[in-house]
Amino acid sequence: MGRFKRVLLWAALLAIILLTFLSIYGAFLGAERARAFFNSLPLGIYWFALVSLLAAGIAVFRRLLRVPALLLMHLGCVLVLAGGFWGSKSAHELRHRLWGLEKTPEGQMAILENTQDNRARIADSNELATLPFDVRLNRFRLEYYEPGYVAIESRDGRRWRLPARPGETLALDDILGKVSIQRVFKNFKIGIQGEERVPYDAPGGSNPAVQIRVEPPGGPAATRYIFEQFPGHPHPEDQLAFTYNRVVSDYISELEIVEDGKVVAGKHIEVNHPLHYGGYHFYQHKYGANQAGQYTILMVVSDSGLNLVYAGYALLVAGIFWHFWGRRALAAIQGRRAASNTTYAGLPASPEPDRS
Amino acid sequence: MEIKYTVQGLLIYITISAYVLAFIASAAGRKKAGKVLFAGGFVLAMVSYGYRWIDVQHVPLQNLFEVFLSLGVACYPISWFCRRFLRIGGQWADMLIGAIVLFPAGFIFHARVMQLPPALQCWLFTPHVAVYMLSYIFMAKATFQAGEQLLGLRPRFEETHLPPEQATYELISIGFPLLTLGLILGSWWGKLAWGDYWGWDPKELWSLASWLVYVGYFHWRFMFGRKYPKINSLWAMTGTLAIIVTVLWVNLSRIFSGLHSYAT
């Protein structure tokens, strides 16, 4: 092996070791500070040096060109790093300065139900970016796992969970007695029938509640209503505290993209299912409600460089699997066909690499 | 320390006992008894995993309890695969690995059933975690082989088995593609769920560090081959150490709070 090749290999090894330690250091910083650290100028120089090393390695080591799997994995790393740079905030700014391209790397949009907007608040700043189209929110909704549950806590800190399903009963102990679920309401309301106040489930709206019955062994049974949104406060004489909880299974925003007054795309976006349009991905991020109604907060992310990164991933995985698994499997199949003289019917060990 | 007085707990404890007894029997030269106990332990681990699956109504890989439960299942088939196709022995180590990985499931992590949060309701959830778990077992086996090499031990039972240094390399060669796939599937999933294929989260950075340790191992071994076998072995062991930190410390320590905190 030539001196230059040896130097290159040592440089690659040191670069790998350095990145390992930098990753560990970054883990201690937390995500936000680590992001800033890995996007800083010194690290920018490091990334550039790493790509240069990979490119030099591909150019100098004949083996990397001769063995397709090795070429794929090294090329894959180059593409991932190139895609990462192309999608970075710095690259977006550079393209804006050089070619006047307006594209926001990342931002957030807050949209009320039945309204549309094209402004996104740019991440890490108070500036607003304008998208070349409007995003309309037709409806935002939450979905829940059924049934919810009533959490019960005694004065001495013991806790129980009772599924909020009519008929479910839980025996607590000899002193506290038992608790049972009588009715579950999606939208609890009180009506008047004669002189009596009667609870009922009103259509539309949302005021989830459960009607429970508490039966202490010695005392009279009592009916109570537990509200999800208004947990209330336990009274001093209460032996048990109750809360009604439901677990969210999904957050869904029903979106449409409006361009020149026409709806050009639409999707019910939820976690893991973003909408992709016009060079941006729209993600369900947060939600809320104010006096004007319910609103969703979308995360808007530029798709620049993403295809390069994904192409890099594909090459990396293909190269690594082919190099470490494919060659062995192929050798084993060929070995069997040729009735190899090895005494076991297994895969052969990989040969020592050629270091040319 | 949490002892589980449940059917699930009982199954785990019996499985651990079977794996430990298999190890003791093998160490005492009762090879056949060891194999039978190991296979029996595997069947019990499968039953335990299936029981959990029915209980939670989704693939049980959501939290550390379920992850360690799955590792307890993976030991036996990987051990069989390595003996059958790679000429790698160390079945005694596999028995011990089986007992070690089930210990946290039995005594440390809670088994409370939890519903999947929205972010975990993705088809990438199972393959991402599963390939990582498989790679971890290969890497753990590699560490035992590396330990044998450092201690100067030779394969005891079958002469056809590879020497420890080469076995370490073979095991890492099989585990590394899975480790890579786990990292990339996680990145892809991160893009779908959180909008970013790389969030610089502590878990992501430790996963990258683990992957890089093995990348370094391959480069080192390419440069020097078997010239420095002890360094090769130490390098392989460092990789497993990084994996242990990634799986346990990052999830359990408050130092590393991040997007993966739900996995505890």
Closest CA to B133 of B50, B75, B49, B188: B75
Q: For residue B255, what is the nearest residue in chain A, using CA coordinates?
A: A28
- The H or E element that residue B217 is part of is helix B202-224
What does the pLDDT look like over B200-223, one tens digit per residue? 999 999 999 999 999 999 999 999
Residue span of the structural domain in which A168 resides:
149-246
What does the pLDDT look like over B92-116, one tens digit per residue? 899 999 999 999 999 999 898 888 9
> Are A53 and A80 members of one domain?
yes
Q: What DSSP assignment string belongs to B53-122?
A: HHHHTS-S-SSHHHHHHHHHHHHHHHHHHHHHHS----HHHHHHHHHHHHHIIIIIS-----PPPGGG-S
Residues A7-33 have a mean pLDDT of 95
The mean-pLDDT minimum among A60-74, A235-249, B30-44 falls in A235-249
On the question of pLDDT at A343 being above 60, the answer is no
Q: Is omega for the bond preceding A147 within 30 degrees of 0, making it cis?
A: yes
Determine the 3-state secondary structure of A121 from DSSP: strand
Q: What percent of chain A has pLDDT over 90?
A: 69
Token pair belonging to B195: 């909008």
pLDDT category at A237 given cuts 50, 70, 90 is confident
What does the pLDDT look like over B45-82, one tens digit per residue? 999 999 999 999 999 999 999 999 999 999 999 999 99
Q: What is the pLDDT of residue A243?
A: 93
Q: Which of A6, A9, A16 to mutate to test the interface with B (most CBs of B within 10 A)?
A: A16
> Are A120 and A265 members of one domain?
yes
Q: What is the pLDDT of residue A342?
A: 44
Q: What is the pLDDT of residue A235?
A: 76
Residues A140-150 have a mean pLDDT of 92
On the question of pLDDT at A350 being above 60, the answer is no
Q: Which of B57, B84, B205, B259 to mutate to test the interface with A (most CBs of A within 10 A)?
A: B205
Say whether A350 and B173 touch across the interface (CB within 8 A).
yes
> Are A33 and A61 members of one domain?
yes
Token pair belonging to A335: 């070995």
On the question of pLDDT at A11 being above 80, the answer is yes
Q: Provide the Cα torsion A213, A217, A219, A222; round to 10°.
A: 0
> Are A155 and A214 members of one domain?
yes
Cα–Cα distance between A282 and A301 in angstroms, integer? 7
Q: What is the pLDDT of residue A356?
A: 46
B44 in contact with chain A, both atoms CB, cutoff 8 A:
no
Helices in chain A by DSSP H: which ranges? 3-29, 31-38, 41-60, 62-66, 68-86, 89-99, 306-321, 327-337
Tell me if A180 is assigned to some domain.
yes
Say whether A299 and B195 touch across the interface (CB within 8 A).
yes
Shortest Cα–Cα distance, A58 to chain B (Å):
14
pLDDT category at B1 given cuts 50, 70, 90 is confident
Tell me if A356 is assigned to some domain.
no
Determine the 3-state secondary structure of B29 from DSSP: coil
Q: What is the pLDDT of residue B16?
A: 97
Total of domains in chain A = 3
Tell me if A28 is assigned to some domain.
yes
On the question of pLDDT at A348 being above 80, the answer is no
Q: What is the pLDDT of residue A293?
A: 86
Closest CA to A131 of A111, A161, A154, A149: A111
pLDDT category at B137 given cuts 50, 70, 90 is very high
Shortest Cα–Cα distance, B172 to chain A (Å):
9
Q: What percent of chain B has pLDDT over 90?
A: 78
How many of the other CB atoms lie within 10 Å of CB of A82?
18
Residues A228-232 have a mean pLDDT of 84
Q: What is the pLDDT of residue A68?
A: 93
Tell me if A284 is assigned to some domain.
yes
Cβ(B264)–Cβ(B180) below 8 Å: no
On the question of pLDDT at B89 being above 50, the answer is yes
Give phi and psi for B247, each to the nearest 5: -75, -45
- B51 contacts: CB under 8 Å, gap ≥ 6: B7, B8, B11
B57 in contact with chain A, both atoms CB, cutoff 8 A:
no
ipTM of the complex: 0.91
Give phi and psi for A286, each to the nearest 5: -145, 180
Across A101-105, A243-247, A316-320, which has the greatest mean pLDDT? A316-320
Cα–Cα distance between A144 and A114 in angstroms, integer? 23
- A183 contacts: CB under 8 Å, gap ≥ 6: A166, A199, A210, A211
Q: What is the pLDDT of residue B155?
A: 57
Q: What is the pLDDT of residue A346?
A: 40
What does the pLDDT look like over A166-198, one tens digit per residue? 999 999 988 889 999 999 999 999 988 888 888
> Are A69 and A213 members of one domain?
no
How many of the other CB atoms lie within 10 Å of CB of A11?
16
Angle A58-A1-B171 from CA coordinates, rounded to 5°: 70
Angle A38-B241-B178 from CA coordinates, rounded to 5°: 75
Q: What is the pLDDT of residue A345?
A: 37
User: Which residues does residue A200 pair with via DSSP β-bridges, in sequence order?
Assistant: A189
Cα–Cα distance between B200 and B207 in angstroms, integer? 11
Tell me if A342 is assigned to some domain.
no
Tell me if A348 is assigned to some domain.
no
Tell me if A355 is assigned to some domain.
no
Residues B2-10 have a mean pLDDT of 91
On the question of pLDDT at A2 being above 90, the answer is no
Residue, of A292 and A252, whose pLDDT is higher: A252
> Are A174 and A261 members of one domain?
no
Mode of pairing for the β-strands spanning A169-173 and A159-163: unpaired
All residues of chain A having their beta carbon less than 8 Å from the beta carbon of residue B202 are 27-28, 30-31, 34
What count of CB pairs under 8 Å joins A to B?
A: 138
Q: For residue A321, what is the nearest residue in chain B, using CA coordinates?
A: B177
User: Across all residues in chain A, what is the average pLDDT?
Assistant: 90
All residues of chain B having their beta carbon less than 8 Å from the beta carbon of residue A310 are 188
Cα distances (angstroms) measured from residue A167 to each of A34, A179, A181, A213, A218: 52, 10, 6, 10, 22
Considering only CA atoms, give the Rg of chain A: 31
> Are A85 and A32 members of one domain?
yes
How do the residues of chain A divide into helix, strand and coil, expressed in percent and rounded to 5? 35, 40, 30
Cα–Cα distance between B184 and A299 in angstroms, integer? 22
Cα–Cα distance between A303 and B27 in angstroms, integer? 57
Per-domain boundaries in chain B: 1-115, 117-264
All residues of chain A having their beta carbon less than 8 Å from the beta carbon of residue B84 are 346
Cβ(B107)–Cβ(B1) below 8 Å: yes
B187 in contact with chain A, both atoms CB, cutoff 8 A:
yes
> Which residue among A270, A306, A349 sits closest to B166, beta carbon to beta carbon?
A349
What does the pLDDT look like over A92-141, one tens digit per residue? 999 999 998 889 999 999 999 999 999 999 987 888 999 999 999 999 99
What does the pLDDT look like over B232-248, one tens digit per residue? 999 999 999 999 999 88
Q: What is the pLDDT of residue A339?
A: 53
Give phi and psi for B60, each to the nearest 5: -75, 80
On the question of pLDDT at A1 being above 80, the answer is no
Cβ(A70)–Cβ(A88) below 8 Å: no
Give phi and psi for A243, each to the nearest 5: -135, 145
